[in-house]
Amino acid sequence: MATSTLDRAPEAPAAATAPNPGRRRMNRTLKYGLLLFFVAIVLIPAYVLFITSFKGPSDADPSRAWFLPTTWETDGWVKAWTTLAPALGRTFALVIPAALISATLGSINGYVLSKWRFPGANIVFTLILFGMFIPYQAVMIPLTQLMSNLGVPQGIPSLLVLHIVYGLPICTLIFRNYYESVPSELIEAARMDGAGILRTYASVIFPVSAPGFVVVLIWQFTSAWNDYLFAAFFSSGRNGPVTIALSFLAGGQLTDYAASMAGALIASVPTLIVYILLGKYFVGGLMSGSVKG
């Protein structure tokens, strides 16, 4: 039986459905061109730091910041490393335990506030978050008096206590939001089996907490590593972290630009390595608690 022309679906012209190779190539070129442009803008400071760190005293002048060194020298790197090496060790001794302890305490807080509800839990959570919005400058003098009255030694011990305490609000917030996505049926099943709050955390919650720990560890590591305000108030050049040593390296009436730039690059390497190794997990950990279910 012949098919009526009215029953046939109209066919789209081949030229209209086929992709335009020229337009697609132009869009791709434009996209990568814009990406390269923004990458170049971002890397300009790194370029100036790098080339200046290899310049000699007569060549490391701000007026010649964009030019390559006349002669490539490593004296600035040697001076920077000699000055910063002891401070780098002290900084690692600060940021690693500060990140681990604040992450662990924040995980426990987030677990209790999200899965073991108690009267006034929302008020407690609000008071914890309030610590995120207090400017450091507003409490610096009372903190100095408090640490002195408590007898906490200046330097790394004081900074360790401060970074743990000030890291708790953001760690608690991240873990509370993350644990909201954990099915409550798992907690109820553990309770039915007779598990208490700590056993439930160790057996059920902690094994699925890796994404949250990645986020808060990166956050706390970089925050403590880059801190200067606390370090300026609670430490000195002989017992402070790398940010204090870097400020002494760049200070003085006659600035050694090569050593200062080399020191800035050396001080930024640990956080750069952390982001290179764990950056993809950082974004995934932030998004893992955004959808409940």
What is the number of residues in the chain? 293
**Which pLDDT value is given to residue 248?**
85
Contacts of 190 (CB under 8 A, 6+ apart): 199, 200, 203, 204
Cβ 174 vs Cβ 215: under 8 Å: yes
């743990």: which residue's tokens?
A: 164
Contacts for 77 with CB less than 8 Å, ≥ 6 apart: 53, 54, 259, 262, 266
The answer, yes or no, to whether residue 293 has pLDDT greater than 50, is no
Closest alpha carbon to 233 in 92, 139, 97, 95: 139
Quote the pTM value.
Answer: 0.81
Structure token pair of residue 272: 């750069």
* Sign of the alpha-carbon torsion through 120, 197, 212, 180: negative
Give me the half-sphere count of Cα atoms (radius 13 Å) on the Cβ side of residue 257: 18
pLDDT digits (tens, 9 = 90+) for 208-258: 888 889 889 999 999 999 999 999 999 988 899 999 999 888 766 567 888
Domain boundaries, given as residue ranges, for the chain: 77-288
Q: Is 194 helix (H, G, I), strand (E, B) or coil?
A: coil
Q: What are the distances in angstroms from CA 237 to CA 17, 136, 250?
A: 69, 21, 13
Place of tokens 């017992």: 239
Residue 119: which pLDDT band, with cuts at 50, 70 and 90? confident
Strands of 71-217, DSSP E: none
CB 257 within 8 A of CB 60: yes
Report in angstroms the alpha-carbon separations of 58 from 9, 71, 258, 264. 79, 10, 10, 20
Angle between helix 75-115 and 257-288 (nearest 10): 20
Looking at domain 77-288, its CATH class is mainly alpha
Residue 62 has pLDDT above 60, yes or no: yes
- pLDDT tens digits along 173-217: 999 988 888 888 888 888 888 888 888 888 888 988 888 898 899
Give the separation between CA 208 and CA 234, rounded to whole angstroms.
37
Task: Kindly state the average pLDDT of the residues 95-115.
Answer: 93
Question: Measured between alpha carbons, how far is 88 from 246 in angstroms, rounded to an integer?
Answer: 10
Is pLDDT larger for residue 54 or for residue 19? 54
